[in-house]
């Protein structure tokens, strides 16, 4: 096969169980407060210690408030965060506590600290672990029982997925970002189109994409059903990782890069499925439904029922009823109530630079509530160091504290029922941003333009 995925998978096989799964060695386990408590309880009940605690890193992010971080008022969220701290102390695991400079969203902190490296196997009890595949790692979300497996043995039992390569060639249009590329792919393949596959992103568009863009694209791999999304490491990867806190140093760095350069699919690599996309076909995107694949170009219209079978018609009808939209409706120009910039999808420095490029010298619409939430304390410091905070402040925006924030309704940043939010996050599921909340997914540029006009706005009109 000789694919990048095969190279990493095969080098981590401990044993293959006949007619069963593969025992795979795991280089890095990330843990947060939501899915880890039961896993630690499993070890405690069995009297087992963490096998290799130095390869495990933990931090709270889902329940972390973005307005202040002195106290978590929600008793369930507070208990989860406190429990993570106690479990890390008991099992000797590195813990990046809320409010400290090391904290942030786990899928932002991992790459920016150089904890996520090419050739690694990386797991976390969170579906968006696929993010780390952007550095050339095999990264997968796992369940709570599997977190316990890794804590106890630094291994996991997995069935090997099939392989898919998505080739994207050409130059992206003005105003088109990695987020738009991901939303386009999801609409093309559907949210189940990559189920059972590990996806490699390739082609000139990917090679020319920044590291932050690649992280966004890999982050959303799970939203089309993929087990993992991976990008071959190259000079962009090496430049991003060099000098990071946990990245190799000196001679070890040179040795690592020499190995990392071998991590690519061979010219004769055979994939189970290949998909070809022309970058020129992609416009800025928005979603209209209640899954990330229900999307259109920003100047497009919602599909109609024409030609749909009964099941597809019922599904579209249900989504539009919840979203309070109509078949054939154009969404550009529709008033919005909330704008959210952040999440493990778009909470990096490049996303804030993009947002600031649109809002500079303008004023936030009076009718809009905006939450601008960095993905980590490092990102927040970069925003301040670059003066982006001043641009945001002058435009009427407040820079908040690192948190998962309004990506999901597990902290105070909830969108009220019926209100329409345009968001850089990863999911527009029913109630995802709050019970009854309606979510349109978009890029930082689209969210910025919409925050200024108070309506869903094509950023190309403001660039």
pLDDT of 1: 61
Rounded Cα distance, 268 and 283, in Å: 32
Question: What DSSP element (H or E) covers 103?
Answer: none
Distances (CA, A) of 386 to 182, 212, 392: 28, 17, 12
Which residue in 253, 254, 7 sits closest to 138, CA to CA? 7
Which residue in 124, 118, 158 sits closest to 140, CA to CA? 124
Question: What DSSP element (H or E) covers 167?
Answer: strand 162-169
How wide is the angle at C-alpha 229 spanned by C-alphas 457 and 223, nearest 5°?
50
Alpha-helix residue ranges (DSSP H) falling in 92-177 = 106-112, 144-153
Q: Tens digits of per-residue pLDDT, 97-107?
A: 999 999 999 99
Strand partners, 371: 340
Strand partners, 164: 199, 273
Average pLDDT over residues 60-78: 97
* Count of CB atoms situated within 10 Å of the CB of 16: 12
pLDDT > 90 in the chain, percent: 99
Question: What DSSP element (H or E) covers 370?
Answer: strand 369-372
pTM for this predicted structure: 0.98
Rounded Cα distance, 118 and 123, in Å: 14
* Count of CB atoms situated within 10 Å of the CB of 86: 12
Q: Is the dihedral of CA 96, 97, 101, 107 positive or negative?
A: positive
Cα–chain center distance at 454 = 26
* Local structure of 163: helix, strand or coil: strand
Q: What is the secondary structure of 392-415 as a DSSP string?
A: HHHTT--B--SS-GGGSSSSS-PP
Q: Tens digits of per-residue pLDDT, 4-41?
A: 999 999 999 999 999 999 999 999 999 999 999 999 99
Rounded Cα distance, 47 and 59, in Å: 24
What are the DSSP E strand ranges found in 185-248? 197-202, 228-230
Rounded Cα distance, 440 and 143, in Å: 28
Strand partners, 276: 167
Q: Tens digits of per-residue pLDDT, 107-141?
A: 999 999 999 999 999 999 999 999 999 999 999 99
pLDDT of 69: 96
Rounded Cα distance, 336 and 461, in Å: 18
Q: Tens digits of per-residue pLDDT, 286-345?
A: 999 999 999 999 999 999 999 999 999 999 999 999 999 999 999 999 999 999 999 999
Q: Cβ-count burial of 191 within 10 angstroms (0-12 exposed, 13-18 middle, 19+ buried)?
A: middle
Check: CB of residue 113 under 8 Å from CB of residue 244.
yes
Q: Tens digits of per-residue pLDDT, 331-387?
A: 999 999 999 999 999 999 999 999 999 999 999 999 999 999 999 999 999 999 999
Residue appearing with tokens 């701290």: 85
Rounded Cα distance, 305 and 298, in Å: 20
Strand partners, 22: 16, 158
Alpha-helix residue ranges (DSSP H) falling in 338-435 = 343-346, 349-359, 377-385, 388-394
Q: Is the dihedral of CA 171, 4, 29, 126 positive or negative?
A: positive
Helices 377-385 and 349-359, packing angle to 10 deg: 40
Provide the CB-side half-sphere exposure for 445 (13 A, CA): 20
Check: CB of residue 41 under 8 Å from CB of residue 56.
no
Average per-residue pLDDT for the chain: 97
pLDDT > 70 in the chain, percent: 100
In the structure, what pLDDT confidence band is assigned to residue 201 with cuts at 50, 70 and 90?
very high
Residue appearing with tokens 């993905």: 375
Rounded Cα distance, 131 and 19, in Å: 30
Is the confidence at residue 400, as pLDDT, over 80?
A: yes
- Region for residue 190 given its phi and psi (left: phi exceeds 0; alpha: psi -120 to 50; beta: otherwise): left
Distances (CA, A) of 367 to 26, 107, 314: 48, 32, 34
In the structure, what pLDDT confidence band is assigned to residue 74 with cuts at 50, 70 and 90?
very high
pLDDT of 455: 98
Rounded Cα distance, 311 and 274, in Å: 28
What are the DSSP E strand ranges found in 33-161? 56-58, 94-95, 121-124, 138-141, 155-158
pLDDT of 164: 98
């Amino acid at each position: 096969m000789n694919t990048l995925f095969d190279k990493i998978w095969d080098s981590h096989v401990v044993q293959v169980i006949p007619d069963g799964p593969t025992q795979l060695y795991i280089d890095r386990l990330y843990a947060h407060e939501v899915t880890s408590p039961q896993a630690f309880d499993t070890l405690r009940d069995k009297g087992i210690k963490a096998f290799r605690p130095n390869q495990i890193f933990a931090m709270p992010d889902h329940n972390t408030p973005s307005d202040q971080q002195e106290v978590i008022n929600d008793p369930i969220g507070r208990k989860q965060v406190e429990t993570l701290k106690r479990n890390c102390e008991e099992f000797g695991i590195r813990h990046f506590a809320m409010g400290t400079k090391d904290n942030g969203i786990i899928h932002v902190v991992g790459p920016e600290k150089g904890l996520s490296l090419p050739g690694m196997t990386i797991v976390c009890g969170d579906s968006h672990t696929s993010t780390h595949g952007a550095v050339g790692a095999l990264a997968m979300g796992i369940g709570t029982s599997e977190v316990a497996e890794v804590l106890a043995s630094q291994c996991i039992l997995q069935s090997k997925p099939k392989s898919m390569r998505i080739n994207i060639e050409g130059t992206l249009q003005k105003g088109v970002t990695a987020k738009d590329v991901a939303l386009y792919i999801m609409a093309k393949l559907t949210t189940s189109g990559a189920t059972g596959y590990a996806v490699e992103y390739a082609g000139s568009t990917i090679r020319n994409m920044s590291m932050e863009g690649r992280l966004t694209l890999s982050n959303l791999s799970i939203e089309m059903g993929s087990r993992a999304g991976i990008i071959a490491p190259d000079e962009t990867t090496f430049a991003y990782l060099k000098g990071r806190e946990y990245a190799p140093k000196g001679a070890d760095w040179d040795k690592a890069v020499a190995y990392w350069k071998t991590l690519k699919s061979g010219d004769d690599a055979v994939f189970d499925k290949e998909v070809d996309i022309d970058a020129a076909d992609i416009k800025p995107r928005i979603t209209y439904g209640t899954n990330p694949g229900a999307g259109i170009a920003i100047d497009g219209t919602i599909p109609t029922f024409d030609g749909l079978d009964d099941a597809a018609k019922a599904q579209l009808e249900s989504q539009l009823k919840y979203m309070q939209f109509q078949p054939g409706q154009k969404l550009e120009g529709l008033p919005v109530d909330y704008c959210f910039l952040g999440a493990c999808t778009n909470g990096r420095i490049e996303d804030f630079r993009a947002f600031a490029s649109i809002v500079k010298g303008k004023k936030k619409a009076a009718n809009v509530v905006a939450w601008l939430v960095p993905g980590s304390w490092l990102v927040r410091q970069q925003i301040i160091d670059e003066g982006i905070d001043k641009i945001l402040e002058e435009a009427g925006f407040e820079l908040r504290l690192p948190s998962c924030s309004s990506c999901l309704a597990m902290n105070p940043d909830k969108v009220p029922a019926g209100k329409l939010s345009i968001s850089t996050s990863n999911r527009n599921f029913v109630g995802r941003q709050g019970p009854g909340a309606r979510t349109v997914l978009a890029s930082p540029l689209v969210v910025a333009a919409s925050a200024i006009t108070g309506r869903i706005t094509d950023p190309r009109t403001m660039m």
